[in-house]
Structure 1
Amino acid sequence: MSTMKPVRLDGRSLTRPQLVSVARGAPVELDEAQLPAVARAAAFLAEQVGREEPIYGVSTGFGSNADRLLGAKRTRSGGGADAMNPHESLHEELQRNLIVTHAVCVGEPFAADVVRAMLCIRINTLMRGHSGIRVQTLRALAAMLNAGIVPVVPQLGSVGASGDLAPLSHLAIVLLGGGEAFFDGERLPGADALRRAGLEPVTLSYKEGLALNNGTAQMLACGVLALATLEDLLDTADLAAAMTIDAFAGRLGAFAPEVHALRPHPGQVEVAANLRRLLDGSTLADIPYHLVPRYRPWLPDSWAMLCEERPHLDALRFDIGWDWVPFSQRHGREKFYQRFRPFRGGKKHQPQDSYSLRCTPQVHGAVRDAVAQAARVLEIELNSLTDNPIVFPDAQADHVEQQVISAGHFHGMPLALVMSYVKAAIPVLASISERRINKLVDPATSDGLPAFLIGNEDATESGYMIVQYTAAAIVNDLASRAHPASVYSIPTSANAEDHVSMGANEARHVLAMADDLGKVLGLELYTAAQALDLRRDMINAARELAAHSDAAALATKIGGGPRSPSDEAEAFLEEVEGLRAELAAAPEFRPGRDVSVAHDTIRSRIPFLDRDRALDAEVATAVALVRDGVVLEAVRAQRAG
């Protein structure tokens, strides 16, 4: 029995977090104040049937059979092993047959959280009191959910209009004692699952089959659960980008509030603000170009000059260096070299970073806006009526067609289109993350970091080379799955349903793609943590060298300077002394406070890669740290505390 707080359903106030809570095991309870409205609609239908009024799906057939009225008695009797009880009315048989003939999905079953969310959504919409379902049937559906019975719902079979007919029939058939369900960890016949839970099968009354299987619950459940994942992944993506920016000693001007006030897309403004928070306290970001050394391969005597006084430097597995800019190359650039010292190290002398860093607010922000638009639509859908026909028992009307109205609320296009939008956005976020990974491992773009983030002194090591391959493979797979399903309508039901949404496929794709996006972000955090260690340690080693040696010692790390006594050599040493003094006076270089928390969380589980080793378990750990929200929660806890 769940110890989670029950979620009360009234058809009007279900929220996305509440639905996620039910999906993860919370029970539901029906709002007693709303049940009289439910009962009125059911009683109204029974009254109209008694008057022999033709009502779609109640006293007529469904879909292309909508022009066929039910008779007073059967034309045909008998049947196969699954034939109905001869005492069952045609109205009951109609509803039962609707469920048992529509439960025809194929493929792997949905996970339990998706199915529980579908059940919750269906119960909530039926609580509106416009579907004609009886209170006792609604209570039975809630009891099945609360008992932990999870109907087996194969993933393939809905075209998204009339709603998710086939998958919702797999939900309802268990309520009738048919189909299959998971219960207490076992996959059982539906009747056995009900019996073990102490529940009885239900016989459906007027319109109840149609009420149970006519709606958008599958696409909505997948969409809501996907967004719950994506909203955390959006924050994780910002965190991964911030760690990469610190690893590059990047430029923060591109994230300034006054910049984004001039193009105030909500997501873009939010990402820029988030990056400023994540990078707050960084002394790596905006560091002057000339203070950043570039990697040079380690040699046994790389730090010999300081090892007696600073023995811990002997453990370093890198060397550092700069190139001096001779006076002959400064013509026309004198003003620049008055501001920045004439040394070229790891950072290029340019005032802007590459797009994958500088345009993070614009790209991440656009994805945020896509998710926000989807959230707006899904929140409306959560408390909407989505079956057909719609019953208005209290309406003043001259005839029943004004009280039982056939409409199209089951059509999933509102959800399908926003899921298409999100589906296109997911590869965008994964792609820019992969580009940052590539930038980190490629020595042509890494601003002075070692190739593939490994020393490789003996030419035997690959480091993080293949991590980028994995990210690239996932991005390509995401891109190939991003084509919108919603643009391909295939008519069904003998053209009675001549335009469908394919929203179920759309939302199902988004749910799976969100999981793969998390893998790419995990790989970026894994790679960025290595790069950050190297960048921080290289700059701090330069600082320590400067603080405990003289200009002549620092000059050994600088190429291009004159070595024979001359006026230029003297000027060279004066400029080296200026660099030494500036490095020595600098505080210890460190990343932003939030980035530090994320980095420490990763390092508590994955050590720095000093030499090549098997990476498969580490990659799996990095992916799990994102999937389980460990790194993100550590940062959030630090902010809250």
Structure 2
Amino acid sequence: MVELTGNKLTLEEVKQVCYEGELVTISPKSMQRVKESRKAVERIVANNKTVYGINTGFGKFSDVMIAEDDVNDLQMNLIRSHACGVGEPFPELVSRAVILLRLNALLKGFSGIRPIIAERLVELLNLQIHPVIPQQGSLGASGDLAPLSHLALVLLGEGKVFYAGKVFPTEEVYQLEKIEPIELQAKEGLALINGTQAMTAMGVINWLEAVDLAHQSEWIAAMTIEGLTGIIDAFHPAIHEARGYPQQIAVAERIRKLLSGSNLITAQGEKRVQDAYSLRCIPQVHGASWQALDYVKEKLEIEINAATDNPLIFDDGETVISGGNFHGQPIAIAMDFMKIAVAEFASISERRIERLVNPQLNDLPAFLSAQPGLQSGAMIMQYVAASLVSENKTLAHPASVDSIPSSANQEDHVSMGTIAARHAYSIIQNVRRVLAIECICALQAVEYRGVEKMAPQTKRFYEEARKVVPSITKDRAFSEDIENMNDYLKKNDGGWTASDLKEEEDQISID
């Protein structure tokens, strides 16, 4: 059970709730803050005090006063009019994360919602009723208005939801689970949709998957080094300590650990003096991507516990401030940074694939073919990898440098953070398939070299991966192999359990 406070949610807890279906509950102190914040909104309404979003219109309509009798209708109209997202829905995993993160933000007690709103969001999570949220339509400032409106719509008993593996009208699921729709009151509609939770939820899922890919890229690269009889000297700790980047040092250490005991690696000058950059510079390139992932993690850890509503209510309602915490720029830049960092795992991987299949660059059978000439082997797999890498270059173009004014120029600078997060997700899917292709080629290369000569760690990975993709003894439709390996990578972690990583860290400190 994960207890939500509004302030202490971790990425690990998000993973538990979203991937493992962990139940959630609300801390009593957080619920008390919610109640106190709601009393402040009710006083504002009773005293007819003018406050944005409570008794005024929205955006360009912020100067339009709303009669007390129409305050509730204002909130209901807001949700229905703003629920205009388009395109394919976010993955259900992301939808679940959106609920979790929006709930956590509301529990900070600055938003003025009634407890029933928070309780309903808990109910949706624990019953695994997840809103169908179209991916396209958010500018990432004034928050993720369109996506979050599709979440809010579900509270009204409207829209559609994922439930029991299918998509249903919310009304049907509510009837089945005996849930009553909620009629929103003052401030609640705005509180539900003014936030960065769509881009942040997508960002958290991105980061969790990207970290797994980063670790997978290392054991796959280690097998490639063995398949190409790579030079281990390039991973000597002195080289990496001389530069000083902790992430680079750590990648080199993990590669050395993976290759410890291998009879397929070589020493400097034994077969050649230097390897190509795609082998020799793995710690430098992968390490730089790890630096970016560390930066992204820092921003996500802040954002998942941030108040991103507008206006925010302080001092028991004595201070109500309209600001811009809904602006997604911090996450937009982080997602753009992530796109570049993750794309590089595929970029250097594709170059390693080329070295595995190109007979001019190695002493292996051409294209790892069982019968070169008669059979093409892995030739076109490299084409596929090159295509995905090229597509990533387009997707990696930063979304955050763009801005189109909205709401009659009242909202004149926006982040496009949700676009950045969506494109990062697409890049991650492409990278995984490139790594799957490298893995298939590396498996074949070490098989030609002699599996019995592999390091114990890489041999363990080899044996597991061979259960997914069999040896290439003749040409076949390799698309299925790529997808099977992709699915294997997606369903598993980085190939290192938490205990493995702890043992590594302990070993590094001992050394």
Please list, as runs of the form range in 1=range in 2, the aligned pairs for 1:233-252 lying within 5 A after superposition: 233-252=213-232
The aligned amino acid for 1:407 is G
Partner of 2:454 in structure 1?
Answer: 591
Q: Any residues of structure 2 matched to 1:51-200 within 5 Å, and which?
A: 51-72=47-68, 89-200=69-180
Alignment RMSD: 2.0
* Residue 173 to residue 361, structure 1, CA distance change in 2 (3 Å): same
Give the residue type in structure 2 aligned to 1:199: I
Distance 1:174 1:428, change over 3 A: same
Q: CA deviation at 1:123?
A: 0.5
Which residue does 2:439 correspond to in 1? 525
- Preserved CA contact (<8 Å) 2:212 2:493: no
Matched residues in 2 for 1:614 and 1:621: separation? 12
Deviation by residue 1:147-181 (Cα, 9 ceiling, x = unmatched): 22211111101100101011000000110122222
CA separation in 1, counterparts of 2:160 and 2:463?
Answer: 46
Specify the code of the residue in structure 1 equivalent to 2:290: R
How far is 1:427 from its partner? 2.0
Distance in 2 of aligned mates of 1:622 and 1:498: 45
Q: Look up the match of 2:428.
A: 514
User: Do residues 434 (structure 1) and 350 (structure 2) align?
Assistant: yes
1:441 & 1:404 partners in 2: Cα distance?
A: 64
Does the 8 Å contact 1:7/1:29 carry over to 2? yes
Match of 1:421 in 2: 337
More helix by share: 2
Matched, 1:21 2:23: no
Residue 43 of structure 2: aligned partner: 47
Residues 345-424 of structure 1 mapped to structure 2, 5 A cutoff: 347=271, 350-394=272-316, 400=318, 403-424=319-340
Residues 602 and 631 in structure 1, CA contact (< 8 A), matched pair in contact too: no
Equivalent residue, structure 2, for 1:491: 405
2:368 to 441, 453, 460: 453
**Structure number with larger C-alpha Rg:** 1
Partner Cα distance (1:189, 1:288) in 2? 65
Query: Which residue number corresponds to residue 210 of structure 1?
Result: 190
Gap runs ≥5 in structure 2: 505-511
Alpha-carbon distance in 1 for matches of 2:349, 2:337: 19
Say if 1:635 and 1:182 are closer, same or farther in 2 by CA, change over 3 A: closer
Contact 2:4 2:104 in 1 (8 A): yes
The aligned counterpart of 1:540 is: none
Return the offset for 1:592. 1.8
Alignment-mate amino acid for residue 333 of structure 2: L
Q: Secondary structure at the match of 1:391?
A: strand
Q: CA deviation at 1:465?
A: 0.9
**Separation in 2 of the partners of 1:152 and 1:635?**
33
Unaligned 5+ residue runs, structure 1? 1-5, 73-88, 291-346, 538-588
Deviation at 1:233, TM superposition (A): 0.4
Residue 480 of structure 1 aligns to which amino acid in structure 2?
T
Secondary structure of the 2:185 match is coil
TM-score in terms of structure 1 length: 0.76
1:500-546 deviation digits (Å, cap 9, x = unpaired): 00001111111222122111111101100111111237xxxxxxxxx
- Partners of 1:525 and 1:510 lie apart in 2 by 22
- Report if the CA contact (8 A) 2:57-2:66 is conserved: yes
Tell me if structure 2 keeps the 8 A contact 1:374–1:418: yes
Tell whether 2:467 aligns with 1:604: yes
Report the counterpart of residue 7 of structure 2 in structure 1: 12
Taking the aligned partners of 2:398 and 2:4, their CA distance within structure 1 comes to 33
User: Residue 443 of structure 1 contacts residue 451 of structure 1 at CA under 8 Å; is this kept in 2?
Assistant: yes
Q: Secondary structure at the match of 2:242?
A: coil
SS of equivalent residue, structure 1 residue 108 = strand
User: Residue 95 of structure 2 aligns to a residue in which SS?
Assistant: helix
1:627 aligns with 2:490: yes
The C-alpha deviation readout for 1:431-477, integer Å capped at 9, x for no partner, is 1000000001111111x1121112426x3111111111111111111
1:16 touches 1:224 (CA, 8 Å); kept in 2? yes
Aligned to 2:419: 505
8 Å Cα contact 2:299-2:331 kept in structure 1: yes
Shift of 1:636: 7.4
Query: Is 1:30 aligned with 2:26?
Result: yes
> Take 1:209 and 1:638, find their aligned partners in 2: how far apart are those partners?
44
Residue 143 to residue 638, structure 1, CA distance change in 2 (3 Å) = closer
Distance 1:634 1:441 in 2: 31
Write the distance in 2 (CA, Å) between the matches of 1:636 and 1:19: 20
- The CA distance in 1 between the partners of 2:503 and 2:385, in whole Å, is 32
Give the SS at the match of 1:261: helix
Secondary structure of the residue that 1:486 maps to in structure 2?
coil
**Deviation per CA, 1:521-574, whole angstroms, max 9, x where unpaired?**
11101100111111237xxxxxxxxxxxxxxxxxxxxxxxxxxxxxxxxxxxxx
1:470-499 deviation per Cα after TM superposition (whole angstroms, max 9, x unaligned): 111111111111111111101111111100
The whole-number CA distance in structure 1 between the counterparts of 2:78 and 2:296 is 32
Within 2, Cα distance between the matches of 1:601 and 1:187? 35
Superposition deviation, residue 639 in structure 1: 9.5
SS of residue in 2 equivalent to 1:361: helix
Amino acid at match of 2:9: L
Whole-angstrom distance in 2 between the partners of 1:194 and 1:463: 54
Q: Match of 1:205, as an amino acid?
A: Q
Q: Which amino acid aligns with 1:419?
A: M
Q: Report how many residues are paired.
A: 503
CA contact (8 A) 2:214 2:494 kept: no
Q: Tell me: CA distance 1:123–1:631, structure 2 relative to 1, closer, same or farther (3 Å).
A: closer
Q: Quote the Cα distance in structure 1 between the aligned partners of 2:499 and 2:45.
A: 58
